[in-house]
Amino acid sequence: MFSLDGKVAIITGATSGIGLTMAEKFVEAGARVVIAGRRRPEGEALAARLGKAARFKQTDVTIESQMKALVADAVSGFGRLDCIVNNAGGPAPVGSIESIPVDGFDAGMALLCRSVMLGMKHTAPIFRKQRSGSIVNIGSVAGNRAGLSSSMVYSMAKAGVIHLTKCVAMELGEVNVRVNCISPGGIATGIFGKALGLPIAEAEKTAEVMKASLAKLQPIPRAGLPEDIATCAVFLAADESSFINGQDIVVDGGLIGGRFWTAQQEGLNNLRKAFGVSPT
């Protein structure tokens, strides 16, 4: 694991799933962490479990005043700030373009994309002044390829996150502040249950159920895990990644790399049979 000794990080959406695992991994690597989320009981329980290296700040990432207060709390509580991981997210409206509700569209964009902008907006002055810092935004393979989410609103928002990351990286890179994105593939978390309307507690239980189906999505024959994304985030927060800027790092086991080798070979063999060509 890369060292984050002496660093302070904010992780939004850290009361469950990928964000929770990130908080654990960041503390394990030596960082002090501000856990941000809407659910106070879960956030306070996680902070208590992680000890003095963690504190919880109840935050709705769609509200600018609360994001501004979150950043201020990190600086006042730990004396500095070195990294923010804009991870908070959730499901967005599903269905065809003809049926998307405008209020659902706006809410999805606010949670999935505008919150990332707010995280960067309110940490940028701190990072610019100290001429150092790492911003890590969470995109998705659904932002890279159409058809990888049941929600086109989710896909659009994540595509926005990926491009916004690159735009801000070009600006802040000039003052030695790095801005990168991680695009997860099929990660076994409760987000799938939430997308189908399950209550949060029930949705979190579906993560284990998802592992079998997610294992079939990509060449690597297992489901993605929150640890896969958290480890990448630790790397991007660490000094060892100091020359990486403006990148969307896809962590998906090869999902968007192309067609499976076995399927391609089967298609080739079927073509040979149709043409009466003997296998070589």
Q: In 10 A of CB 275, how many CB atoms?
A: 7
Q: Are 219 and 261 in contact (CB under 8 A)?
A: yes
Distance from C-alpha of 184 to C-alpha of 191, rounded to nearest angstrom? 13
Residue reference for tokens 């070589």: 280
CA dihedral over 104, 109, 112, 117, signed as positive or negative = negative
Q: Are 160 and 149 in contact (CB under 8 A)?
A: no
Residue reference for tokens 């999505």: 217
Q: In 10 A of CB 194, how many CB atoms?
A: 20
Distance from C-alpha of 186 to C-alpha of 127, rounded to nearest angstrom? 32
Give the DSSP H/E element, type plus range, for residue 60. none
Q: Which residues are catalytic?
A: 154
Q: Which residue, among 144, 129, 165, 39, has the nearest Cα to 90 in the 3D structure?
A: 39
